[in-house]
């Protein structure tokens, strides 16, 4: 029996490019960053991931790790409407998968308290570059046809 090929991707990457940031407030910068990385869809009103990043960025200044409960409490104090704790955990997991956030003993932080611009190098190295290399493998096979 031959090899079974699946059309299910191993990973997905969405990248979007905006104009250069100019006089944008913190919320808008983080929102466009999330949209740029495919963490949020343009026009999406479910933006708890923006609030999570805001909370973790503020905690990074103090070099403080937060539990998901603390993150939830800080988000609730920032916004009028509530947010489900399951949604916060799901978004934290998404941020972990792209190496922006890490979990250490049930506590979360921006990975190693690093700058976001430094972490983008890891995202490129471990997610984007290998994906692009695989696409090149497909292109080489196409060229053989």
DSSP string, 82-107: ---HHHHHHHHHHHHHTTSEEEETTE
pLDDT tens digits for 64-86?
999 999 999 999 988 877 788 99
Q: Please report which confidence band the pLDDT of residue 59 belongs to, taking 50, 70 and 90 as the band edges.
A: very high
pLDDT value, residue 8: 85
Q: Please report which confidence band the pLDDT of residue 2 belongs to, taking 50, 70 and 90 as the band edges.
A: low
Structural domains in the chain, sorted by start: 26-115 (1.10.10.10)
pTM summary value: 0.84
Q: What is the CA radius of gyration of the chain?
A: 18
> 10 Å Cβ neighbour count for 42?
9
Q: Please report which confidence band the pLDDT of residue 127 belongs to, taking 50, 70 and 90 as the band edges.
A: confident
Q: Please report which confidence band the pLDDT of residue 110 belongs to, taking 50, 70 and 90 as the band edges.
A: very high
Q: Which residues contact 40 (CB under 8 A, 6 or more apart)?
A: 31, 34, 47, 49, 50
């Amino acid at each position: 029996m031959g090899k079974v090929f699946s059309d299910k991707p191993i990973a997905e990457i969405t990248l979007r490019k905006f104009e250069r940031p100019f006089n944008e407030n913190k919320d808008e910068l983080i929102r466009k960053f999330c949209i740029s990385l495919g963490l949020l869809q343009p026009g999406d009103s479910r933006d708890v991931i923006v609030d999570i990043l805001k909370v973790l960025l503020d905690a990074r200044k103090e070099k403080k790790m937060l539990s998901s409960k603390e993150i939830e409490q800080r988000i609730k104090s920032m916004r009028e409407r509530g947010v489900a704790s399951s949604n916060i955990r799901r978004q934290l997991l998404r941020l972990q998968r792209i190496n922006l956030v890490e979990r250490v003993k049930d506590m979360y932080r921006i990975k190693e308290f690093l700058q976001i611009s430094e972490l983008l190098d890891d995202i490129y190295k471990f997610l984007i570059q290998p994906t692009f290399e695989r696409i090149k493998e497909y292109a080489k096979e196409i060229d053989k046809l």
